[in-house]
Structure 1
């Protein structure tokens, strides 16, 4: 039986009769399988202690310890009473049998209500798996500790170090679906202990062997990309979210992802394993959803490692786009102008009918020059003649659309214009191909674009090859299907993005060939 099927069957069996708790049980079980501690956060009456007891049932003959903390709890209730016999011999030794120091699995409810004496000892025990008993250090067999509370530790209470040891933090809320709630009402109380088939139960030998093999699993390039994306966002949003993730926490979270890959019969992590980070990085209920959004967006944005620096290639392609347009095409309309004294002028000519001649009315022409600087300016001005002198009896004004309205302030009373509007003549329109472009330059630009296109084609082939059957590889008993679909969406968007870039390269190649 493969690991994935066995774990999936184990989760189904452990979850029997518990509604909307499958993901919580699966992730808690994963934590226990790889030696990570879990914090269950939620209001009273949401089956947090039941989850812990069911997790212990998944293992063969576990020594299980459970205790409800309160502010009057004493170390004796958790770590065992002091041996009177040893005390008479001047030795301070606790009788730890059937208490936390000898437990394989433990559940501590309302953990933050405990006394500092208990919490300080607990910190060493779960971190180093060692219990200081009198003058001797006893090896603690604790595989995983599950703690619960309806609150997260407040600031400035000295609980940050202990809270950091709980790599998994799971929200356990009330049942949401009406159908499940009705089933709960019609069901008998859920049993804390459940019979697990021996073929599914985890033996101590298996657990030890698996713990050693987990380290052979590699973090994929995609997983590392997702981690860096998340880490960058947490830094960027620190002032808002106040989420700090220690190096130890990142390392333990990486081990959790490796374990998820291992129990899905893989030797390398993938996107679905990275989704487990949603349970590892939040600190308080106020930032829990925001952290999930960051993780989800990172998984969606990652896609596959396509073997190229896509951002650098985009920058190179954009630079080529600009160069092609500048070198081969006019970037703006080119007008017919006349240069006078280093300044460019539009040449205009106006036909009008003059009635002052003795022989009667006749047509006359008036030539004028308009400074190119006045183009599209909505102010009135006087044009100039060929010598640059202002023509005072003519008034011009552009209409803001490229045409110039001309009027004559003349002493003649009956002058009528055939044309009252002047439009500068365009020699080459914007986007027209330039003439006499150096063929060597055109060939060089074409070759550069073709090189980028080939890299993109190779990347697309690489991504499409990885995408084949990837959906089945994303399947995991630890992550629901609706969450793993985020990775599929991200990969589809990556393929679409590469295809669009390739089409853009084809457009640039066509521009070079014209």
Structure 2
């Protein structure tokens, strides 16, 4: 029932705010993405995150089989910007640096200078797409790493800043191990899976339509100028990582560390830092000055390293986002420990934790007192009466044993045995064939049942326990009000063109779960309070 209520709230909140007035920046990005993805299917999220990466100054790796529109995505992305200089190249093991960085100038060679004619090649491009990147030669990839790292290209004796805004690379494989490509792979902060079209309806539309144009029609007022881009990149660094974001990142790191032996996922400090910039860029493009749960969702595109661990890493990110809810000023885990401790103390001090039986102490041991009358099966006037004592320690045993008398002496001619159900059989051995006695059954008397309230408890102790419960309940109510108020203000800021509605709903459901759990804790405090009355 609780999950159904959560789902209903998610749907209601989603509908309520989907049609709310978007801020100017968010609206512009949303409209731009709509034009960039016009006519292509199931690529909206990939285009959105790739565009965000370009705005943040990050490179993107598109992972997927051939023929899934990876080059189309890159070409279209460039048209989001004014007058883009675009370079594209399909790598192979025979590729030479001349094909990527430009041919050597014959004229310069005659002057004893080694220069490349770089115009129209990667060093002069604003945006570049390198397909099958890992098939390239080490000479190309080493130069590429320098360009990505320092945004500098060395052409002969000259060094100049390259205008590259974003590099998109693609492959249906990740770089092979022990080839020295780990540093370059780590520079692709965003890693996106580009699968074949999955939905039959979209696949049929693809079959029935002409090939998608790689030159989308983009309104001039939506295109991003390079002056704007530079300004945005400065402004996004003013965005603050929220305490919620930092808490989620903390738990994701802990979970990745805990599963390192299984997943082998290593995330460098540099990668974490640049992933944080991506989250800030998302908040900035949504018109916010602080990150929230919808931004942290993007980490699932930043942390996986191999096709084998991708899904698990994404699940870890989303599970942590859902589990965290909102960060609060009070340590809820410590409060839970206090409440659990109080629960135990209340039950220990005020209530019996087990059945209390009618027993007597003899020496250092407890015994059940029994006045037993054994009837002679042949002669009514030969009945035997005994005041005997049965060991309490034998209560949970089914061994045969002898009772004792008032002086503590063993009564050898009487045998006792508990049946495991709380009853004890007593047998008196006769001294001849004509002295046979009917066995007896003894059931220990319970004075107080488990859970009964104790009668002689100190009233000051009861008041102290009651006050402690009341204090915890008050703190929980304060946290609940804080979370509910934050959630009420928060909903309108969760919508983002860079996160799917499904992922946002997961984040929202986690916050609603947090509210439900707080309500359950408060009810549990009310239960404890009633125990103290």
TM-score range, shorter chain: over 0.9
Give 1:67's aligned residue. 89
CA deviation digits over 1:349-399, x for unaligned, max 9? 212334787xx6265422211111111211111111111111111111111
Could you say what secondary structure the match of 1:468 adopts?
A: helix
Residue in 1 aligned with 2:531? 511
Partner of 2:396: 376
C-alpha separation in 1, matches of 2:478 and 2:489: 19
Give the distance between the partners of 1:127 and 1:377, measured in 2 at CA: 76
Give the 3-state SS of the residue equivalent to 2:532 in structure 1: helix
Matched, 1:501 2:521: yes
Matched, 1:81 2:103: yes
Answering whether residue 177 of structure 2 is matched by residue 155 of structure 1, we say yes
Select which of 309, 319, 333 maps to 1:311.
333
CA contact (8 A) 1:253 1:280 kept: yes
CA distance in 2, matches of 1:338, 1:434: 19
Partner of 2:481: 461
Partner secondary structure for residue 30 of structure 2: helix
Gap regions ≥5 residues in structure 2: 1-22
2:61–2:170 Cα contact (<8 Å) kept: yes
Contact 2:374-2:440 within 8 A present in 1 as well: no
Deviation at 1:438, TM superposition (A): 1.7
**Out of 279, 291, 315, which is 1:269 matched to?**
291
Aligned to 1:175: 197
Any stretches of 5+ residues in structure 1 without a counterpart? Answer: none
Q: Larger deviation: 75-84 or 136-145?
A: 75-84
Q: Is the Cα–Cα contact under 8 Å of residues 41 and 148 in structure 1 kept in the other structure?
A: yes
203-212 or 328-337, larger mean C-alpha shift: 328-337
- 1:139-154 correspondence runs (5 A): 139-154=161-176
Determine the C-alpha separation between the residues in 2 that align with 1:54 and 1:35.
Answer: 17
Cα distance in 2 for partners of 1:440, 1:11 equals 68
Change (3 A) 1:485 1:356: closer
Give the corresponding residue for 2:510.
490
The alignment partner of 1:401 has SS state of coil
For 1:398, the equivalent position in structure 2 comes to 418
Aligned partners of 2:89 and 2:129 also within 8 Å: yes
Offset of residue 83 of structure 1: 2.3
- For 1:189, the equivalent position in structure 2 comes to 211
Which stretch has the larger CA shift, 342-351 or 9-18?
Answer: 342-351
Task: Please state whether the residue corresponding to 1:11 is helix, strand or coil.
Answer: helix
* Contact in 2 for aligned 1:40/1:146 (Cα 8 Å): yes
Alignment partner of 1:477 out of 477, 488, 497: 497
State how 1:243-322 maps to structure 2 within 5 Å.
Answer: 243-322=265-344
Inter-partner Cα distance in structure 1 for 2:495 and 2:424: 69
Conserved? CA contact 2:430–2:437, under 8 Å: no
What CA distance in whole angstroms lies between the structure 1 residues aligned with 2:105 and 2:344? 83
**Secondary structure at 2:375's aligned position in 1?**
strand
Please list, as runs of the form range in 1=range in 2, the aligned pairs for 1:80-99 lying within 5 A after superposition: 80-99=102-121
Counterpart position of 1:232: 254
Q: Which residue of 1 aligns with 2:10?
A: none
Deviation at 1:114, TM superposition (A): 0.7
Aligned mates of 1:131, 1:469 — CA distance in 2: 48
> 2 CA distance for matches of 1:60 and 1:224?
35
CA distance in 1, matches of 2:271, 2:364: 70
CA contact (8 A) 1:355 1:361 kept: no
**Which residues in structure 2 correspond to 1:336-355 (within 5 Å)?**
336-354=358-376
Distance 1:390 1:362 in 2: 22
Q: Is 1:323–2:345 an aligned residue pair?
A: yes
Contact 2:377 2:437 in 1 (8 A): no
Question: 2: CA distance between counterparts of 1:83 and 1:439?
Answer: 98
Task: Report the secondary structure of 1:369's partner residue.
Answer: strand
How far the C-alpha of 1:411 sits from its partner, in A, is 2.0
RMSD: 1.5
Cα–Cα, structure 1 residues 350 and 69, in superposed 2: closer, same or farther, change >3 Å? same
Aligned partner of 2:12 in structure 1 is: none
SS at match of 1:379: coil
Displacement of 1:469: 5.1
**d(CA) in 2 for partners of 1:331 and 1:48?**
67
SS in structure 1 at match of 2:469 = helix
1:118 and 1:355 mapped to 2: Cα distance?
108
* CA distances 1:221-242 after superposition (whole Å, capped 9, x unpaired): 1111111111111111111111
Give 1:367's aligned residue: 387
TM-superposed deviation, 1:433 = 1.7
TM-score (norm 2): 0.93
Deviations 1:123-170 (CA, angstroms, capped at 9, x unpaired): 010111111122222111111000001111111111100000000001
Q: Which range is displaced more, 438-447 or 236-245?
A: 438-447
1:423 to 439, 443, 447: 443
Preserved CA contact (<8 Å) 1:306 1:460: no
Aligned counterparts of 2:193 and 2:184: Cα–Cα separation in 1? 18
Name which of 134, 144, 148 aligns with 1:126. 148
Aligned to 1:30: 52
